[in-house]
Each structure stands twice: as structure tokens, then as C-alpha cells.
Amino acid sequence: MLTYEFYTDSYFGSSIPEAAFPHIAARAEAALSKMKRIYRVESTGALSERMALCAMAETIYDASRRHSGISQVRMGEMTVSYRDSKALSRELVGKASMYLDLYRGVTV
């Protein structure tokens, strides 16, 4: 389980407030569990997995702070773009791959 102390002392994170951390960390852990069902995930140990979880937690927190999923608004000729969940999933995979090796496909 990821702790706030690890997030601040080892990962040196500061963007997630302590009160929000348990909920955000649980979402990051669920996202990593899903990745493990889709990809073959290799790590160099518990440290790399916890670092990946911290990076993913910050991404989830940042996404949750954006207003109702809107990623772009333009007033001239009224354009509104919404951030889709696939974009967040791709971003989480990118963050996880900074610390973990992710492989997709058939292994022999």
C-alpha cells in the first residue's frame, strides 16, 4: 500500500494534499492492477512499483482537478473539447512506463 510519507519523502511529491491522498492512491493502485491484466509488467522491485504509483497518482489528481473533463474552450465560433478516458489511460501507461517495463503481446 502506498503511503503519503513515501510520496513526500521518497518520491518528493508535493502536488497531492494529504487529505486527498488515500482516495487518489487507491485509484492509482486500481489502475496499475488493470495494467497488470493487460500488460506483462516487470519491475526491479517494490520501490519501482511504488514510484510508478506516485507518478500515476499525480496524473489522476491533476485530471480530477480539471473542470468537468473539458480540455479546451474557444469562444470564437464556440469550440468545446472534452478529455476522454482513453487519453487519461494512455497518460497513466506513460507514467507507469517511466518506472516499470510494460510488454504487450504474446510471449514465447
What is the mean pLDDT for each group of 10 consecutive residues in the chain (108 residues)? 96 96 96 93 89 96 73 59 73 95 76
Question: Taken in order 100, 98, 15, 23, is the CA torsion positive or negative?
Answer: negative
Q: Which pLDDT belongs to residue 106?
A: 62
Q: Which pLDDT belongs to residue 99?
A: 96
The secondary structure of residue 67, as a DSSP letter, is G
Q: pTM for this structure? A: 0.80
Q: Are strands 70-74 and 40-42 parallel, antiparallel or unpaired?
A: unpaired
Residue of 94, 86, 83 whose CA lies nearest to 58: 94
Q: Over the stretch 89-100, which tens digit does the pLDDT of each residue have?
A: 999 999 999 999
Beta partners for residue 70, in sequence order: 82
